[in-house]
A and B are shown apart, each in its own frame.
Chain A
Amino acid sequence: RKEVEQDPGPFNVPEGATVAFNCTYSNSASQSFFWYRQDCRKEPKLLMSVYSSGNEDGRFTAQLNRASQYISLLIRDSKLSDSATYLCVVNSGYSTLTFGKGTMLLVSP
């Protein structure tokens, strides 16, 4: 089983739509969870950390379900600028992270 699995997409949504991505991870001992964003031909950048109680940052909401070992990202009121690949990231040790292959989002006018 792959360590971090994501639906590659692409998810095609119109502006203003709400879209959700899920991610599953295999290491039950993982303690840190993140969503990174990667624009085409650019480097990944941290979008948000994911906390056990769930957390929100503007239009973005992240949830963690430890029992089922999955993480979700909800984007409300999608903007054209949200078009990117979203990487689910989980720690694989004290010092290292494992990145999912990413889910591509395309927001159209």
Chain B
Amino acid sequence: NAGVTQTPKFRVLKTGQSMTLLCAQDMNHEYMYWYRQDPGMGLRLIHYSVGEGTTAKGEVPDGYNVSRLKKQNFLLGLESAAPSQTSVYFCASSYTGSHSYEQYFGPGTRLTVT
């Protein structure tokens, strides 16, 4: 199994450009999450989804949108990129949303906004 995959692995954007990050999981997990990780800040939750067609805001949702049209995919969109969105983005999934279940992470997308 591939587990959780993320596309692309690296990207450089200019301020104001838009892009979509794709997360895919093949474990039939219900719950999916988008985090960003910045030096000295740790992992912070952006948005998450409790199932196909549903999304919810996390700790730092501003400037991002998400969609979960298919159970196996969770998309993170940046409509107008800003330098403050330079970060490493991790997607994760879990079997259920219960906090007792392990979250499996993708390899990350390194985004630089100039």
Instruction: Show the binding face of A for B, using Cβ within 8 Å.
Output: 31-32, 34, 42-46, 49, 87, 91, 93-97, 99-102
Contact = CB atoms under 8 A, between A and B. Distances in A.
A91 B43 CA distance: 13
A43 B107 contact: yes
B68 to A, nearest CB: 14
Interface of B: 31, 33, 35, 40-45, 48, 50, 58, 90, 97-100, 102-103, 105-108
The secondary structure that dominates the B interface is loop
A95 B43 contact: no
14 contacts: A31-B99, A43-B106, A45-B105, A46-B102, A91-B100, A94-B98, A95-B48, A95-B99, A97-B103, A99-B35, A99-B42, A99-B43, A100-B42, A101-B41
Q: Name the residue in B43, B45, B50, B107 with the highest tally of chain A Cβ atoms < 10 Å from its Cβ.
A: B43
Given A96-B48, A99-B42, A101-B40, A43 B100 contact: no
B99 A94 contact: yes
A97 B15 CA distance: 31
